[in-house]
Amino acid sequence: MSKSFKFFFVLLLLLSLSFQAMAYRVQFADEAAMKPLRWKNGKIPIALSTSLIKQNFSIRNESDTVNAIRRSLLTWEKVTNVEFEVSWTDLQSLSPSGNSGDGVSLITIAPTSENLVLFGNETGDVSARTRVFFNRKGFINEADIVLNPYQQFSTDGAIGTFDLEATITHELGHLLGLEHSSVISSTMYAQQRKNGTLNLSGFSLRTLAEDDIAGIRSLYGAKNAEKDCCGQLHGKLIQTDGKPAKNMQVWAEEAETGRVMGEVLTVADGSFLFEGLVEGIYRIYTQETSDKVIFGAAEELGEIKVKKGKTLNITKKLKDTPNGFGLLYAGFNGQLSELAVPLNDGKSYTVYIGGKNLDTKSVHIDFNSPFFSITPGTITTHDFGSQVSVVSFEVNVKSQTPPGEYSFIVIL
Ligand SMILES: [Zn+2]
């Protein structure tokens, strides 16, 4: 392969396979419902407001508040790859609505005016609300949970109160990116019953239904049953000038299927860590993340054999990335967007890519996954004005393609 070839990768998202009939829904970053909201990193800091343990009218005396909250966090941690890092804070109010919050994901019950206004116009019994903040790539960076200070909560099933653990478990589902489900028995069902309604306790939402589990695993994957099931991959990226390469996106693709099995960002010293990789062969890639270019120049870091219980280390000096190139958009049906392209299996799609200084005559597109192919002769140039060069091509997705994220390669 000639040295002048440069690689660009774009992620494709395979969604909603037809044989899955689940009723869970996820939250989306965009109106077109193309990019599901999720936390980029499974480690999620949660700050518990001291209002939860101060004497207050909203939580019945002698409630086991702290343990109820811990159990609800554990309920999600047990089934999917998220881990909550809990701290306490004197903060009382959720962040005002807007593009971004204060960066603190708060659980609070304080009757401040900012919190009360969330429930001001409610006539029915609403137990809590969650406000989610996310960036334009669809990654959640904050979510604040407010328990309704007008209501009363308990942990012992006291009639007429909401069960605290059930409420927080439901709201944590929103915090993680889930919407309401239409399955009545699910934790993510919209209506929560108070203790004593129909002579039943409100405990059932403490436990996740299969539908909730399927929903959360669609965002974060299944929890590895045993701790030693998997291997780790630790690495460090260095720029050509010897400085650490921070904020690089690194992802691992299963070599056989091309499916993206993990995505992380490098930290300040250029290092990254994948945990929970099942035994197998992976191809590791990295690409720059910046506000200017959605899909930066990418580089393959190598093919790596991950073994159970072992930690592999790789250190890599990155090549200089070409100046002035960059993919800005990918989309389909003639629409360009800044988000991943959602596809279904067994279908064909015309996918568009647009970018700066993209030489549409010499562009070559390829897949790492055997489940995807390009219809020969379908690469077409489009006129979208002089600011951006746009090409389209037809992608065929094999039936029975495992759901997940896949990348495609644009070679210039
Ligand atoms: Zn809800």
- How would you write 44-84 as a 3-class SS string? EEEEEEHHHCCCCCCECCCCCHHHHHHHHHHHHHCCECCEE
- At 30-75, the pLDDT tens digits run 776 667 899 998 899 999 999 999 988 899 998 999 999 999 999 9
Local structure of residue 181 (DSSP, 8 states): B
Residue 352: per-residue pLDDT: 80
Q: Tokens 């897949």, residue?
A: 367
127 CA to centre of ligand 1 in angstroms: 9
133 CA to centre of ligand 1 in angstroms: 16
34 CA to centre of ligand 1 in angstroms: 21
180 CA to centre of ligand 1 in angstroms: 6
28 CA to centre of ligand 1 in angstroms: 15
- For residue 85, what are the CA distances in angstroms to 82, 105, 185, 407? 10, 11, 29, 31
The overall average pLDDT reported for the chain is 81
Residue 336: per-residue pLDDT: 62
Query: 393 with 10: CB under 8 angstroms?
Result: no
261 CA to centre of ligand 1 in angstroms: 29
105 CA to centre of ligand 1 in angstroms: 17
d(CA 365, CA 341): 15
User: What mean pLDDT comes out for the span 253-271?
Assistant: 82
Residue 38: per-residue pLDDT: 93
Residue 334: per-residue pLDDT: 62
* Among 197, 186, 102, 96, residue whose Cα is nearest residue 142: 102
d(CA 94, CA 117): 11
126 CA to centre of ligand 1 in angstroms: 9
Helix, coil or strand: residue 227: helix
205 CA to centre of ligand 1 in angstroms: 12
- Per-residue confidence band for 20, with pLDDT thresholds at 50, 70 and 90: very low
> What domains are defined for the chain?
7-13+324-411 (no CATH), 37-220 (3.40.390.10), 227-317 (2.60.40.10)
